[in-house]
Structure 1
């Protein structure tokens, strides 16, 4: 593990706390946590990605459990979606050290701008459940979404929870609160899938990841309880803010980097 001073450790723990809160409400905590890890002197991109997954899975397990107890999300959707996402994340992690992230950032930026515009132009979207497809068709679409977003999470990561939420709202017709609850279960699976590759490869910095993971747990617990208490409208507002921040971050990477 790189030698860190107390100020750097404090900032990393603060980033973990904020990331846990954002992830619990609407996803996108990697927007905060992964860039913070990449600023650590001597850490490689793969180590940062792997350590981020360790911290994130501690937070997502907390928020997933909190949401499950209070919202009771549909496991018939979450189960197939999570299994497909786990497989996709493992595959994405295998390719993480071989495919340059620069190829994906412009595409993701365009998609996110479209997502933000669509959300703002449809103020009532995600306020109420209006489920599309039924039975096996619903589960197949959920599994396909899980596979694709899981692969992205293993490969890059930031914004995964956000992509899960908007896919559940736009393609499957969930309102924001149950969509966020299902997204947490699936996000736990994507983190696990990536770690199944990263841990044996020795890429995880355990002391740093566990410390940030504890901060993640605290943030996730607070965020999940706030989301449940305030409902879909609150989740939608946070969603718009997080997507806007993610667009700004990716735009900076694409045009300034």
Structure 2
């Protein structure tokens, strides 16, 4: 790699991981950046998972140390996320990505509008406890988001954040921590599957991973310190940015 390419990847990886550790959606930055240096789509997806693995791991550890992860719930959801991500990667070649983008576009727009209208959403922690019903619902959603992350990816962290806020009524910081550990799980499963299929460029992926470690740590510390007042506007901005990107790709 040239020095210019290396600096470009480093900057893109840092920014993507910084944003992703706060509100998800880092893939809208990292995947186009990797493809811009000439990687084929499937190798770009696999290499992005290498960087995201280390970025997610760093932010997961930081959220865990700050007690922002609710493990009594998460322990049920992790296996379903892992299985969903593996199946998502295995089916990535047979899915109509254009049709998928249109469905995701509608969902993201609805989430953004709902979050803007519900001004108190996620500001305080109103979690009422676990029930059989919300554990089962969480497992279904964890599998679905894991599958999506393995197959496509961008916005999965934002969906997880929204699920923990809207369904379980956690505040933004705990929702971000819960979403981060599930995102790390799906990224790990996806990376293993992509690597076994020879779709990871380790030579360019390793410096990219270093930048995402630094970005993930910086973003997590920023989110824990600032809480809902910074996570919510970034979450809305990322949701709208995803929508704009998908509208541009479609038309």
Q: Deviations over 1:131-179 (max 9, x none)?
A: 3663333322221111000000000001110110011111222111100
Alignment of 1:175-186 (within 5 A): 175-186=171-182
| d(CA) in 1 for partners of 2:229, 2:135 | 26
Counterpart selection for 1:154 from 150, 156, 167: 150
Corresponding residue for residue 26 of structure 2: 29
- 2:13 maps to which residue? 16
> Contact 2:68 / 2:178 at 8 angstroms: preserved in 1?
no
Give the equivalent residue in structure 1 for 2:57.
Answer: 61
Contact 1:84 1:143 in 2 (8 A): yes
Gaps of 5+ in 1: none
What corresponds to 1:106 in structure 2?
Answer: 102
SS of match in other structure, 1:71: coil
Provide the C-alpha distance between the structure 1 equivalents of 2:166 and 2:245, rounded to a whole number of angstroms.
24
Matched position secondary structure for 2:126: coil
Which residue is equivalent to 2:211? 215
Q: Which residue of 2 aligns with 1:82?
A: 78
User: d(CA) in 1 for partners of 2:128 and 2:155?
Assistant: 24
- Relative to the length of structure 1, the TM-score reads 0.94
Count of aligned pairs between the two proteins: 251
Cα distance between partner residues in 2 of 1:191 and 1:78 = 16
CA distance in 1, matches of 2:149, 2:45: 10
For 2:126 and 2:68, how far apart are their aligned partners in 1?
A: 17
Moved more, 47-56 or 241-250: 241-250
1:101-250 alignment, distance < 5 Å: 101-131=97-127, 134-250=130-246
Q: Distance in 2 between matches of 1:206 and 1:103?
A: 31
Query: Over the residues paired in the alignment, what is the CA RMSD in angstroms?
Result: 1.3
How far apart, in 2, do the equivalents of 1:156 and 1:225 lie? 28
Once the two structures are overlaid, the 10-residue window that deviates more, 123-132 or 208-217, is 123-132
1:7 has 2:4 as partner: yes
Distance 1:108 1:16 in 2: 24
Q: Which moved more, 1:132-141 or 1:44-53?
A: 132-141
